[in-house]
Amino acid sequence: PEGEMLVARLDPGERVVAGETTDFTVNLDMFHAFDIETEEALV
């Protein structure tokens, strides 16, 4: 859906795949929100 966002809470070193419609991963030690459409961090 347009404007859909993925919000993930990650522990240090944890890797999360951001859904079946994307092929990027995030590997963060802090909280971030990603826009699925643009794959850009919003915060």
Q: How many domains does the chain have?
A: 1
The alpha carbon dihedral of 26, 29, 33, 38 has a sign of negative
pLDDT at 29: 43
Residue 30 has pLDDT above 50, yes or no: no
For residues 39 and 43, which has the higher predicted lDDT (pLDDT)? 39
- Which residue do the tokens 């092929």 mark? 23
Mean per-residue pLDDT, 23-37? 52
Specify the long-range contacts of residues 27-34, CB closer than 8 Å, at least 24 apart.
31/7, 32/8, 33/5, 33/6, 33/7, 34/5, 34/6, 34/7, 34/8
Residue 39 has a pLDDT of 62
Can you give the residue range of the structural domain that contains 34? 5-41
Can you give the pTM of this predicted structure? 0.16
Per-residue model confidence as pLDDT tens digits over 4-29: 556 555 555 555 555 444 444 554 44
